[in-house]
Amino acid sequence: MAVRTEEKGGGVTPNVQPDTPVLRSRVVLLIHGYCNNLEDARKSYATFIENFKAFEPKEQLRAQSFVGDMVRFYWPGDKDWWRLRFLSYSLEIRPAKSSAKVLAEFFSNLKAPVELYVIAHSLGNRVAMELLDSFWHDGVPPAVRLRGVCMMAAAVPVSAVRWPGNLHYASLLTQTQVLFSPGDWTLRVPFPAGQAFGIDSFASQAVGLNGEPLMHWKWKQPMAYTKKGKTKKYGHGDYWIQKESAKPVSDLLKGETSTSLAKHALPSNSLAPPNELATRRI
């Protein structure tokens, strides 16, 4: 599933490609981050899926069921600038918003009911939050039942999701799991500058750095991995490729994430009642 016109760089297509019906009752939507061309994203998704399958050898049938529902989404969050493409961040915020609008239109046109999970990384979380913001303002599409979002290394300003930020209600629309790392140099140093150059936020920390705002999310976890007997904090590019990402994502999909923060994160008068459509295998 894609909204990009080129394999490297390019613009946002007016429609999701290919424009075909969703032939499943559950969609686990994977959304890559910025500075990923088509080939980069394909490799990241492939590694993540292999790690996910290997994580649950005793539950292969269940794991295979989720893997079969994973839909790889490709959007143009990069520029064809060769080794300088990492400098394009401030120019990718608008494509993230545009991609979300096209994606929202796609889901609004679905006829058969579908359960929707979103697993996003980096600026892909901006695509995810803008998608939920469209759902908040226009109503969750009748065929869509939101089940949860996993935000990995979220390149989303804390100020946007904290009241009265423009993505505050979007961030509370469904259960949200935040995977973060204080060791993420990309979010600690370049992110604030990129946001300022993009005239999107000023001096605001990224959600994916320390999991802020505290008590806002249903569940959050600092991410680390072990290498040669030493524990290392995740870097920005570790989320798709490190095996430790598989368990929290699996917990979200199986509904086993902690609910201890839910009563703090979701004021009773802040959201419209969720749609409760019955689902069926299609």
Q: What is the CATH number of the domain that holds 74?
A: 3.40.50.1820
In a domain, 114, yes or no: yes
- Structure confidence by residue, pLDDT tens digits, 23-35: 789 999 999 999 9
pLDDT at 261 over 50: no
Task: Tell me the two tokens of residue 268.
Answer: 């009773």
Q: What is the pLDDT of residue 63?
A: 62
259 pLDDT band, cuts 50/70/90, is: very low
- Is pLDDT larger for residue 55 or for residue 207? 207
Q: What is the pLDDT of residue 61?
A: 55
pLDDT at 181 over 90: yes
In a domain, 271, yes or no: no
- Structure confidence by residue, pLDDT tens digits, 211-224: 999 789 999 999 99
- 222 close to 182: Cβ distance less than 8 angstroms: yes
Burial of 228 (0-12, 13-18, 19+ CB in 10 A): exposed
In a domain, 282, yes or no: no
- Structure confidence by residue, pLDDT tens digits, 89-129: 899 999 999 999 999 999 999 999 999 999 999 999 999 99
**Largest Cα span, the chain:** 51
| Domain membership of residue 63 as a residue range | 2-265
In a domain, 278, yes or no: no
Q: Report the number of distinct structural domains present in the chain.
A: 1
Centre a 10 Å sphere on the Cβ of residue 243 and count the other Cβ atoms it contains.
15
Measure Cα distances from 272 to 148, 172, 266 in Å: 16, 11, 11
In a domain, 279, yes or no: no
Q: What is the pTM of this model?
A: 0.88
Q: What is the pLDDT of residue 80?
A: 82
pLDDT at 260 over 90: no
Nearest to 52 by CA among 253, 249, 252, 255: 249
In a domain, 272, yes or no: no
Average pLDDT over residues 253-261: 60
In a domain, 164, yes or no: yes
Q: What is the pLDDT of residue 186?
A: 96
- Is pLDDT larger for residue 66 or for residue 21? 66
- 68 close to 23: Cβ distance less than 8 angstroms: no
Residue type, 108: S
Average pLDDT over residues 175-181: 97
Please tell me the least confidently modeled range out of 87-101, 196-210, 258-272: 258-272
In a domain, 274, yes or no: no
Average pLDDT over residues 127-149: 97
Question: What is the chain's mean pLDDT, rounded?
Answer: 88
